[in-house]
Structures are given as structure tokens and as C-alpha cells.
Structure 1
């Protein structure tokens, strides 16, 4: 008992450490997790989760994969792919079929596997999946069109890869084994249909009950979690691997019911999925033995991996998207990015044992072949997606962007100043009259309520790392901060300090539901806009060795307001009471709201 607890502690610790290390080093998280797992497992021998956890190993991974797949499918709202449905549909149908056939041919003729094993592994390896695609999309900050294609393909095809592998095995058994009848194949098809129906019904029941208030707020997340596990386990008991299809359908149904509490569910599931992804990668890589790692470098396996990366993947994308509106550069990116992940590893390990028991001795290399493809694609695509997307013009600007919530003289002038420094900015407001300030200043703007569900589809927030709530209403600023806190984090979510004379009585509002205070506690909305009316201007001062930060502070007037520091690295540091020790270094640019006659 104590040994199992120790292993679980190590898995969680190594997983979270990998995520933190990836954040600190700006390396792809899945690359770091794979390396940490390999070091902890086959290299140093600290643990072997498959042996240590015994019969618990596969059920834990299976349920975790189901939860991750559901969390990913919660993001599949059809409104996201307006104008892109044709290429997405082609890729997840024709593209997946081509990938299966071509991958199977490569497995047979290059890796030297039998036809039976080749068609099983060919089905497994069509998957990419949310565990690998979603972290890469967040890292690369892709533009919406390319990101939508990769995300939808990864989540939709994920369960179908496992189903194709099951179908291949059942069909091969029917062709080669006299004891297996055609009814077994029909049973598989029926079980897949039943799984989809179960997932759809569970999803509709959740949406219906939440919309009618049948479930209290504090129970919504637990109810969803338990229902996801039920939707996965029940079909999986009928036919192995159909649970993945059920949870995917369940997530898509909920996402397209547009229920009010969908964001709460997303945030809860995102937190869980980050922990589960970390744990699963550590568990799988730490469970590999040294012989499996060494066999990856077999020339046939390396040639098969190269064929999958450089020939089969690009061919399936270009062939399946003929006649669609997908641009050539988008085809190049999508044709290269296809990292394999957890589902491929778990399903291949399952079928390796099943095929070996059925007498297919060449199935012994399935784990090595699959892990080789997973590792090489994760590393190659993890390190190249950012560079390639920038070269093709399909990524957002590297500079951190800023969303200003609330259009007024101060916010639009501040946004214009940042825009002139090539920093992505946008001003949002629900009032068209207030947006006049932004229109006259020539600042990008969006006439939409930032808190509305529709805003998610009207505005792509990927380029904007910071959100500043700068309306005249303290209560609204606080509401915006509390709404977007799970997405941005308090360190990148700012709001103006409370105005004691504004009528709002929010002095007792907990700091846990508000953003970081901008500038200082006494610089309110009224103060800033009055300074603009008095002729204060936005000044930019570059800190050099000759003109130090202390020299700049000495030149400032008592009424000047220090706003933000643009670091030499390109990062933004907004002034706030919580950053009293903010110090400028040579190469940093300080922006302030200053009197025009002050040098």
C-alpha cells in the first residue's frame, strides 16, 4: 500500500514539475514530460508504474484519456469552423481513411509487419489527439483557421483511430479464424453506434438538467466528472475502445447546446486535464524498458517513422483537401504537424498483447514502433511548430497583446500608444457611442459585450496576453476580472482601483475575485480621464547606461502616472501597487502619462 502511494506521489510530482519546467524554459511541455518520464523510468530506474500499479495501470490511463478527450471535445462548437467545415470534414473522413491505408502499406512493406498487424497499427497511428495538439496550439499561438483544423482533427479522429484498430482486428479474425463469425464484426459496428447514442444522451441530459436548474452550482463539476466516467465505462464494457467515441460525442453535444455554465465546466476540466496529461505521459514513458528504447533505432522502424512524417502525412492532407478553401501555406503546416500521443501508446500496447495471444509474433515490436513515432513526432513538431508557423505567416505576433475593456479617452489613447510600438491591442465595449473614441483614434475595436458567450466567436483572444478592465464602473471591472481569472491568471489581469465616490461599495470585495490593481491605489478612472482633459500626454523614455532609471524617476513630476514598462525582451510590465520594486534596466522603455512641459 505504502509503495503504491509513493509511486502515485512521484507520478504527480514529476508531472507537475515537468509542466513547471516547460513553462520556465519555454520548451514544449510534452517534450519535457517525455524526457522526465524516461529519466525517472528506464534510465535511472526510480519507478516503473506499470509494474508498481499492477492491474490498476490500464484502467487509470483509460479513464484519464476519456476525461481528457471529453475536455477537448467541449471546445468543438460548430460556430468555430464557419467557412472551414469542408476542409475539416474532408480531413477527418477522407484524410483519416487515406492515412490508415497508406500507414498500413508502410507498416507492411517498410517495417516488415504482417498484413493483419499492419492494418491494426495503421488504424492506431492516424490519431493525434488533444493531449499533444492542444498544448502545441497554445504554445505556437496559431491563427484561428489553421488552429481550428488541427484541433478538430485531433479530437474527432482520436476515438476513430482506436475504433478502426478494433474493426481491423475483428475483420482479420473473421477472415483468418474459422471460429469467428461475421456476427462479431456486426457486433462491433452495433456497439460503436450504441456508444455514440449513449454519449449523445448523457450529453443532452447534462445540458438539459443544468439549463433547468436541476443541479446546484456546487455539484455541477462533480456531476459532469462522474457522468463522463459513466459514459466511458458503460460502452467500453460492451466493446473495448468504444468509450472514447461516447465521451467525444458527449462533449460535442454539450458544447453545441450553448448552456450558460459551459465555461465553468471547461475551466474545471482544463485543470484536471493538465494534471492527467502530465501524469499519463510520466506513467507511459517511465514504464518503458531499455530494450524497447533501443529497438526504436532499428533501421526499419526509423525508415517507417520518416515515411510517416515526410510522405504519408503531407500526402493525406494535400489529397483530402483538394477543392477546398484551405490555403497552400495552411496545407503545408497541417501536413507537417501531426504528433501522436497517449491514445496511440495505450491502444497499441493493448493490441500488442491481444495480437501476440492470437499468434501474430511480429506484434512484439508494436510498442517500440509506436513509441518511436510518438517521441520523434512530439520532439520534431513541438520544436518546429512555432518556427514554421511564423515563416508561413500563420502565427500571431510574438509581442504580448493587450485587451482594453472599456472605451474612453484614456484607454484609447493608451491603446494607440502601444499600437504605435507594434504591440497588438484591441478596445472592446458594448456601447457604440463610447467606441467613438477608439474609432477616431484608429485603434482596433470590437462592439460586443466582453462577458457574452458570442464574444468567444466574434473575437480571437489568442494574440492578447493581458486584459485591462478600465471602465468607470468598479463592479463591472471586478466582474470582468473574476470571469476571466481562470483563463488569464491574476498576474495578467488588471483593473482600475475602486473609486470611493463612484457609488459602488466594493471595498470589502475579496482580492481573490478581482484583478491586479493598475498603477496605484489612488489613480482612478476619474483621475486618469481628468488628466487627459488637462492635456497630459503619453511619454516614452528609453532607459540607457547614460540615462538610468533613477534619472528618469528624478525627471518625473509628482502628478505623472507610470503606466507600463516595455522590457528589452519584448515583455510588458504594468505598474501596480503589487510591483513596488519594478526597476528599469538599459534597453527598457517606460511609458507614462505626463505633463507636456516636463522633459
Structure 2
């Protein structure tokens, strides 16, 4: 379940159920400015991930969803709101404009849990991030119209067009100019790296505030354009900024959902009655699918992918914040039912988050559009040792992907039918092009201890330090010295494969002398101790897995004792292996020219 489900529950428990948290009393007039700034940071962080190359071939789909797809959603929700809840046409059109948004506050956490394929993820991310400022702008325009009707008795068409054009010009221009100038500063290294994060945050706040001061609600568009510009500017690295903003966004999303859920009033929900439920079902089952299927006509998306995109469209923080803001203003000028906008918006938010959050992963798996579980192995190196281990893993149904900068090694791995990436695993090219889908653990198996260490440091953040394993390359036989040196190279949490005495050179030597992979299933009458006694020094246990396909490696730090029913996979030498380690070339393969005659 996405964490946002539990955040909503926490907010409801702390607010309307117990009364322990009262956001208005706690923050007063600062509540909505704080919410607005937090939304700006969240939108900026999301837009930093929007690269045009990710939607190559899907540009038309994204454009359609963000243009006439928005109009379809706006019109259909407005009509449904008017007839199901008996709101005035003006209020219904305003609510329809607000509800066109989805937003990164709910889309991104849900995508992390559901893990749909790249096409679905990219379409939903682009839609969720770009549509937020568009929805806010539409809401401002409708609000201006309602204000004119309520105060002057007529609509000023010229003023409305002027406001729309002004908002677009201000948002696009300030966002593009500030993005370009800040990109130049980053590219030319005019700013110390330790100031990148705090300066970026200050820039987001400043551009957001300046834009809103010039044209109301243009700030969201500004920070979105700012993020997209930086993400797609050549020779500008935003990885460190993105890491910082991701952590900050998680904190802000958590706080916002709890605070806004704590403002709910259950009495207002009772006034909405079944009309709110019917409206939610209409949005979920009719408005969203119609929008997606009409917007994707002529695309190469399969019907399963279209269904998945249709199902995921939760509303989030922007919908809640904008609704709360306009509801207060409309109540001040005496618009009927304006006080019901906030509970209605939260009814849709809670409904979409709970229903989609609890079912999306199941539906993705049933439709076959979910990425595989992270049970595979990224293997650093495609040398003889890596190829043998990858082959053993593959034959037992475990996904592997080997990486190596040696074309000879990569070619030999491909000839064995192994999945490979040709290049340095810790390079910038790998960051952009190495596919990690379905992979959850790292095996550093090169003869270069420095490369193993770098790979461990690089992928520890990606997979977690407890999922990083490396092979000892130290030729010293002293266990304590070898363990200390190896662990300092990567981290104290990483795992030395097999044992400290099983070095890369020793495994390569065994393989060159005819050792082969063999697997044995343990029983109650033939346990692991019996297995070791039978093979003696001729066996090097590599890994074991139980009947439920849970795999564990033999490591230097853990005395793994497989039980009955487990399958042990080991490197077995038919004859007693020689003690001397084989000479290796620069690629980690046996150097036959250096063998004794």
C-alpha cells in the first residue's frame, strides 16, 4: 500500500477523530502560504525528473492528455457535479477545473509501489507534474469569472483573456529565464557544490513568490518550467540537487497530507451524501478512461497499458490546497454551497488514493504491465568467474545482468545467452543507460579491488548496503588482514562472498582446471554437514535457495547452514585443486602464456 494511505488515516485520526491536531490554531495565517511553498518544492522536484528523451515516441500522447484530455475531464466532471450534487453551474465548472489535476504528491509514491513499465510510468509522471499548474491556472480563471458575476453581474471576457495570457507569459518567461541562468551558473561551476542545494531551494521560493506577486497562481507554472529546463539543459548535472529535493519532498508530502486531512469536518461529508460517492465512481470509471482512451488514439500503447493509465489518476495536495483557498474566498462573497467544496475535494482525494492505491499493483500484475520484482542480480564483471556464477543463477530462474568494459568478456557472455551491458558500471553512461529493472542485488566480481569498491559505493544507495556483495581480490591468506582491507574498500555493511580465503584468482584457477557448477538438494537424511564431508576440499559452496526461491549467498561474515529442502549450488573440482593461484590477464581471464610448461 502507498504510504499516502496511512498519512491520510493519520491526519483523520489526529484531526477530526481525536482533535489533537488543529492546523489553523497551530499555524494561523501561515498555513496556506506554507502549503503553497511546499507544493512549489514538490512540483519542482518532480519536474527535475522530466526528460524529453524519456517520452520519445509518446510525445503525442502526453500532449493530447495535457490539452483536449484536460478539456474532456473538465467538462465531464463539471456536468456530473452539477447534476449529482445540484451545485450551481459556476461552482461545478470551478470544481471541474480543480479536479483535472493528479499531481506528483500521489502519482510518484504510487508508481514506486506499483512499478508499471517505463511507458506507463513516463506518461503518468509527465501528466501528473505538468497538469498541476494547468489545473491551478484554469481554477483561477473560473474564479475570476465567478467573482465578476457575483460582484458585477456580468462576465468580463477581455479581463479573463488578459488574466490567462498574463499568467502564461509570467510563468513561462520567469521559469525559462531563471532556469537558463541557473543552468549556466551550474555548468560553469560559479557556485560551490556545497551551496547547490540551499541555493536551488532559495531560487524555487523566490521565483514562486515573484511570479505569484506579478500574476496570481502563476508560481506553480514557473517552478515547473524551471525544473524541466534544468533537467533538459546540456552539460548541467542536477543529480545531487535531485537527491536533496527527493528527501525534502518526502518530508513535505508527509506533513501536508496529515495537516490537510486534519482539517476535515465529518459533518460536511454527511451533507454531501451519496452524491459524492456517485461523483467519485463517475471520475474513476468514466471520466478518466474516456480521457485516456481518446488521448491515446493512434499511439503504440497496448490496450493493457491504456487500461493501467486509465486506472491510475489520484488527486493530491494541489487539489486540496487550491480547493481550500477558493472555498474560503467564495464563502466570503456569499456563494451558495462554497463550504462543501473542501469536503467534496477530499472525498475524491481519499476515494482515488484508497481505491487506486490498494488495487493498482494487483491490476498491473494481472494485465502484465508491471516490472518484475527486484530479485535479480547486477553483476560487475563479465569475466570467467562472473560468467560461471551468472549461468548458475540463470539456470535456477534468477535474473542477471553483467557489466564489463572489456568487449571480449561481454562477447563471451553474450555467446552464453547472458544479459549484458557493455561499459563501465560506475560511469555516467551507465547512470543513463544501464537498465536496473528487475535487479535488486549487486555482485562485484572483478579482479580489480578498486572497481569493486567503487561499484559497492555507487549501488549501495540504489539497492541498500545489505544487498551489495563483493569478491575478495586480496592475495594475502591472513583472514583478519584480508577482511579489514576488503571491508574498508566498500563498507562495513557489505558482504564478502564465500570467504576471505576464496579470492578471485583462486576461483578463476579452479574454473580453468575444470571445476564445474553442481547443485544438490538437501534432505533429512543428507544434510549440509554430510554434503561437506562427502566433497571435502573439492567443493566451494556459492549460494543456496529454499523451495520458495529465497536465495542466500555463502559469505565470510555469516555461517550459512542450509536446511532440509534447500538446494546448494557449488563449484566442484573433480580432482584435488592445486594450491597455486593461476596467472590472470588484465581482463581477469586465465593468461595461458604465463602458465608453467
TM-score range with shorter-chain normalisation?
A: 0.7 to 0.9
Q: Name the TM-score, length of structure 1 as normaliser.
A: 0.88
| 8 A Cα contact 2:538 2:575, kept in partner | no
Number of aligned residue pairs: give it: 569
| 8 A Cα contact 1:399 1:424, kept in partner | no
What whole-Å deviation, never above 9, does each CA across 1:467-514 have from its counterpart, x for those lacking one? Answer: 22322222222222323333222122333335357xx99769565599
Relative to structure 2, which stretch is displaced further, 549-558 or 129-138?
549-558
> 2:579: which partner in 1?
none
> 2:190: which partner in 1?
214
> 1:522: which partner in 2?
501
What whole-Å deviation, never above 9, does each CA across 1:508-565 have from its counterpart, x for those lacking one? Answer: 9565599543333333322332232233333334455555555556556446444334
**1:126 aligned to which of 77, 93, 100:** 100
CA distance in 2, matches of 1:79, 1:401: 26
| 8 A Cα contact 1:451 1:480, kept in partner | yes
> 1:591: which partner in 2?
569
| 8 A Cα contact 2:538 2:574, kept in partner | no
The answer to whether structure 1 residue 29 and structure 2 residue 7 are counterparts is no
CA offset at residue 309 of structure 1? 0.4
Q: In 2 relative to 1, CA 201–500 (structure 1 residues): closer, same or farther, beyond 3 Å? A: farther
What whole-Å deviation, never above 9, does each CA across 1:347-366 have from its counterpart, x for those lacking one? Answer: 11111112212321212111
Q: In 2 relative to 1, CA 582–59 (structure 1 residues): closer, same or farther, beyond 3 Å? A: farther
Q: In 2 relative to 1, CA 115–276 (structure 1 residues): closer, same or farther, beyond 3 Å? A: same
CA distance in 2, matches of 1:410, 1:59: 59
Q: Name the TM-score, length of structure 2 as normaliser.
A: 0.88
**1:67 aligned to which of 19, 41, 46:** 41
Q: In 2 relative to 1, CA 130–574 (structure 1 residues): closer, same or farther, beyond 3 Å? A: farther
Q: In 2 relative to 1, CA 553–104 (structure 1 residues): closer, same or farther, beyond 3 Å? A: farther
CA offset at residue 596 of structure 1? 5.1
**Pairing of 1:163-202 with structure 2 (within 5 A):** 163-175=137-149, 177-178=151-152, 181=156, 182-183=158-159, 185-202=161-178
The answer to whether structure 1 residue 531 and structure 2 residue 510 are counterparts is yes
Query: What secondary structure sits across from 1:434 in the alignment?
Result: helix
The answer to whether structure 1 residue 244 and structure 2 residue 223 are counterparts is no
What whole-Å deviation, never above 9, does each CA across 1:225-284 have from its counterpart, x for those lacking one? Answer: 221222222212333332211111111111111445322222222122222222222222
> 1:91: which partner in 2?
65
> 2:322: which partner in 1?
347
Query: What secondary structure sits across from 1:472 in the alignment?
Result: coil
Q: In 2 relative to 1, CA 524–133 (structure 1 residues): closer, same or farther, beyond 3 Å? A: farther
What whole-Å deviation, never above 9, does each CA across 1:359-417 have from its counterpart, x for those lacking one? Answer: 21212111111111111111111121111111111112236121112211121222222
Q: In 2 relative to 1, CA 428–45 (structure 1 residues): closer, same or farther, beyond 3 Å? A: same
CA offset at residue 46 of structure 1? 2.7
CA distance in 2, matches of 1:143, 1:384: 17
Cα RMSD for the two superposed structures: 2.8
**Runs of 5+ unmatched residues, structure 1:** 1-26
What whole-Å deviation, never above 9, does each CA across 1:171-226 have from its counterpart, x for those lacking one? Answer: 33345542885336513431332122212222222221111111112111222222
CA offset at residue 567 of structure 1? 4.9
**Runs of 5+ unmatched residues, structure 2:** 477-481, 577-597
Query: What secondary structure sits across from 2:408 in the alignment?
Result: coil
The answer to whether structure 1 residue 205 and structure 2 residue 176 are counterparts is no
State the structure with more CA Rg.
2
| 8 A Cα contact 2:544 2:566, kept in partner | yes
The answer to whether structure 1 residue 430 and structure 2 residue 405 are counterparts is yes
CA offset at residue 332 of structure 1? 0.9
CA distance in 1, matches of 2:21, 2:535: 59
Relative to structure 2, which stretch is displaced further, 105-114 or 564-573?
564-573
> 1:566: which partner in 2?
545
**Pairing of 1:463-502 with structure 2 (within 5 A):** 463-499=438-474
| 8 A Cα contact 2:141 2:163, kept in partner | no
**Pairing of 1:288-303 with structure 2 (within 5 A):** 288-292=264-268, 294=270, 298-303=273-278
